[in-house]
């Protein structure tokens, strides 16, 4: 991939490939000559390998790089000092070490971090429901009534339409669950009569204007 996008860079590019006659003085001229430029570049690029061109152009301050596969990209040595990935020796339910994307950018001070491995699916169900106002007794009744269910992939069960994870992610259905980890679903089904299942706690009605004021 050649990234010589501005006038100075494209001049360096044409000099590097010994075609100074193709240098333009403005972008309008480049647009007018686009088809010819593309044909000339295609013929030139065929004379070296991608690795050879990458080294050649970078030595001449022309922005260019070989397109990597995903495996090659994440193995780039630049990523290690920049801490783009957070590595864990082991994660429950997954064999071998695991790398988790952190952030592709850096801060002058501090920055984003990942403090623990990814949780097993459903591990935070009680915590999330508790923050929504459900008591431990409420959550126990939800489990007893099978509103909260653990669906195992090996059972070949289908997630019903409209089911949602405890943390609010939508699951289109019907779709077969194939994740190797256990999956916890909240199955909100129409229920008639008094079953003792607790209703969701009332949430405050916050207007958008209030949110803006609260954020300052």
Q: Give me the residue spans of the domains in the chain.
A: 7-59, 69-118, 119-216
Percent of the chain at pLDDT exceeding 90:
33
pLDDT at 58: 93
pTM to 2 decimal places: 0.47
9 SS3 class: helix
Note the pLDDT tens digit of each residue in 183-193: 344 333 333 44
Q: Are 39 and 98 contacting, i.e. CB atoms less than 8 angstroms apart?
A: no
Average pLDDT of the segment spanning 193-205: 55
pLDDT at 151: 63
Average pLDDT of the segment spanning 20-26: 93
Q: Could you tell me the maximum CA-CA distance found in the chain, to the nearest angstrom?
A: 85
Burial of 14 (0-12, 13-18, 19+ CB in 10 A): buried
pLDDT at 198: 57
pLDDT at 172: 35
């Amino acid at each position: 991939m050649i990234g010589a996008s501005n006038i100075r860079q494209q001049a360096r590019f044409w000099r590097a490939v010994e075609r100074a006659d193709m240098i333009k003085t403005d972008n309008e001229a480049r647009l007018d000559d686009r088809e010819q430029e593309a044909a000339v570049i295609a013929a030139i690029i065929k004379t070296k390998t991608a690795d050879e061109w990458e080294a050649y152009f970078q030595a001449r301050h022309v922005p260019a790089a070989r397109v990597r596969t995903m495996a090659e990209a994440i193995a780039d040595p630049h990523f290690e000092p920049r801490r783009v990935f957070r590595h864990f020796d082991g994660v429950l339910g997954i064999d071998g070490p695991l790398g988790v994307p952190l952030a592709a950018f850096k801060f002058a001070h501090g920055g984003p971090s990942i403090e623990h491995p990814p949780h097993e699916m459903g591990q935070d169900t009680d915590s999330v429901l508790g923050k929504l106002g459900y008591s431990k007794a409420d959550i126990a009744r939800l489990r007893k009534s099978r509103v909260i269910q653990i669906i195992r992939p090996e059972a070949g069960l289908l997630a019903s339409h409209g089911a949602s994870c405890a943390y609010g992610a939508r699951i289109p259905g019907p779709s077969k669950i194939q994740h190797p980890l256990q999956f916890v679903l909240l199955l909100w089904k129409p229920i008639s009569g008094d079953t003792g299942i607790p209703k969701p706690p009332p949430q405050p009605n916050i207007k958008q204007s209030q949110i803006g004021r609260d954020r300052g």
